[in-house]
Chains A and B, each alone.
Chain A
Amino acid sequence: MPPAPGNTASQAITVGSMTKKFGHREVLHGISFGIEKGSVFGVIGPNGAGKTTVMRCLLDIIRPTSGTSTVLGENPRAAGPSLRRRIGYLPGELFLEGRITGRKLLSHYADISGPVRPGRVDSLAERLGLDLDRHTRKLSKGNKQKLGLVQAFMHDPELLVLDEPTSGLDPLVQQEFLAMVREAQANGQTVFLSSHVLSEVQQAADEVAILRDGRIVTVATVDSLRQGAVRHVRFTASGISTADAGALLARVPGIGHLEVLPAGDGVELSATLGGAIQPLLRVLAGLELTELVLEEPDLEESVLELYGTIRGNGPGTADVNGNGRRRRRRGHGA
């Protein structure tokens, strides 16, 4: 169940039971969440989960079919231009064409948004390594994205709504972007960003909402995701049958994806562990281990597990489609 929206006065964005239908197809099935002022909130989910739809609703580009939303204390449907001047928006698919330089285009957007401090555009462009005097249609995808970011940040809006902000950016610029997000937060600005990759969001966000098929699977802090994250465990043991080893491990709370293969006179076993380590160790202590690898938790995978929770009927069945990811990183853990 999604958490009920909290105290709206302290929230930059409050969404309650928002649904959106395109024709007969409902793409948002009553989602609710709140974003505290001054926080960085990430929404992740696979393509088509509804991330862009939510963001467009908050900017009144499209209108929700039902539900409520409050942005910076106002109803986006009714508030009009004055509210949108307080928001910086980066669309998920950015199209900038036309026979116009980046500088002129930004000057146009400055005319229709909040006031831009003198020198602000140049300093942002310099940070991101963007040449403002080139024609926009000749810019590469990454450079267009930089222009889009400058456009969103330049008037120091109270709220930044950034749809897939790091798409097309090289890793160095991504780091610069993260620094800009942290500065915005230090500045008291609220940031709402989306991604289909958790690793992009986890570095920047305090809280993450996971959206799948138009529903919020969970809203969690990055820390709690980390705690609930899944580890991979692998070992070989001698002097035990596959059936016995399987039965033994299956009793450990949080074990999933159990695979047991015969190896010599013993077994080779791999599994995931979603719970505490101690119960596993107690079981392992009774075995003749010849090798043991217990990996660091993989946040990405724990999120995929959550996607799977909706699709299947529990963590253990998350891999019903057979697309389970087994990333084996040697040299980690013990």
Chain B
Amino acid sequence: MADLKMADAATKPATATGASPVLAVQDLQAWYGESHILHGINFNVNAGEVVTLLGRNGAGKTTTLKSVMGIIGKRTGSVRFDGQEIIRASSDKIARMGVAFCPEERGIFASLDVRENLLLPPIVRPGGLSLEQIFDLFPNLKERLDSQGTKLSGGEQQMLAIARILRTGARFLMLDEPTEGLAPVIIQQIGHTIARLKKEGFTILLVEQNFRFAATVADRYYIVEHGKVIDGFANADLQANMDKLHTYLGV
């Protein structure tokens, strides 16, 4: 019961703003085969926000992103994107509505070169970044266009994975641990990129273990534990919530 109350409290500040959220997730449950992973996820993301899901390993953050994307086979509850219910939609339909996903393992294709990887996701609506703008953000990629996708360094692969979803015109990006395993310099570069995307009006749902990194880009946080959202607060209240946060994350 206590959990439920906190989850309600977490969604309140978002709904109180009046404008309807870009993404509204209510009582989302999801299963991998027989195992029940998400037990009722509730959160909202408003237009232009960067929202971060925090939580320990195995809490259900990645599963939440995959459920929104429609990749998880069995899911119940409600996921509304731009006011439309997408809980039963297939992932290609969800992508066509303007949701883009950058997976934790990056998903760079070995049998495609960098150019093919970059051009792979189809344009789903007008307004995506041009190749020029993308090379402006990630100059490294321009020099490696003819390399095999998986020959890039980890950082370059991450940039490629983000770059290719910026072309599509999707305005809602889900990034799963974009800093995992990367050098501090690259993490900084990715932080700048996210800040710039936010300034250009992208809405971003981020999953991060690296809470220090998240603090530099996020507007709001939700804490995920055992497949539920147990708490949420704005970036302004971060310091006040520091003790709680340390308990949640075990750091």
Instruction: Tell whether A pairs with B.
Output: no
